[in-house]
Amino acid sequence: MKTLAIRHVLAEHLGMMERSLRNLGFKVEYLDTAKGETLKEPLEEYSLLVVLGGYMGAYEENLYPFLSYEFRLMEQALKLNIPILGICLGAQMLAKVLGARVFKGDKGKEIGWMDVFKVGEHELFQEFPNTLKVFQWHGDTFELPKGAVRVYASEKYENQAFVYGKAVGLQFHIEVDQNMVKEWAELYRDELQEEKVGEDMLQVEDGMYERNYQLIESLIRRLI
């Protein structure tokens, strides 16, 4: 089995999810579309498509033409019934492919460790708790695609996780490990200062990363 992971920024990779995928027997391949890379093999060769995060907006195809290519890949995956997991930007792109509007959030950015709340039931999230602490870093949001099931919401934005057939969109970053959070804090230091996000918002209690790792694995097992 092979996973295709579309990556927009080198620092925004699969994180803990890569370990989980390899434990489940997947070979992992990255496609760096922002660097001009395109798929060399048929999409049918892959058992899972993961679309990762990035600073660009899903509505900025004019600024980032590679997004148009990604939209076509996602549309093809949907037609082929290949499972899709979209994270942050990837979730917004999935929503757009499914006909929903993506836009700048009018309630400010969500950055740091925050709670999301289960508002809907789906078998893919059967092992997930009613209140889930997740790492957020986004300013855009989206409408729920027609026919999708909303599973999680936050206090600011109601669409945090949704399911459409074999496609899952997660607005939050369940894949991050401690090193990724530190790297992002350094890489996007100016944004943290601008948004007045303190160091405390980037800290989380012991065991949280391992718990999220277990949830990632349960989600992937059910998705494939």
The 10 Å Cβ neighbour count of residue 184 is 22
Q: What is the C-alpha to C-alpha distance for residues 204 and 224, in angstroms, rounded to an integer?
A: 30
CB 113 within 8 A of CB 135: yes
CA angle 14, 17, 21 (to 5 degrees): 115
The one catalytic residue among 88, 110, 138, 217:
88
**Quick check: helix, strand or coil at residue 56?**
coil
C-alpha dihedral (125, 128, 131, 133), degrees to nearest 10? -110
**Quick check: helix, strand or coil at residue 4?**
strand
Query: Which DSSP state fits 173?
Result: B
Query: What are φ and ψ of residue 83, in 5° steps?
Result: -55, 140
The one catalytic residue among 12, 18, 110, 175:
175
Q: Is residue 173 annotated as a catalytic residue, yes or no?
A: yes
Q: Is residue 175 annotated as a catalytic residue, yes or no?
A: yes
Q: Is residue 127 annotated as a catalytic residue, yes or no?
A: no
The 10 Å Cβ neighbour count of residue 186 is 10
The one catalytic residue among 8, 13, 138, 173:
173
CB 100 within 8 A of CB 158: no
Residue numbers annotated as active site:
88, 173, 175
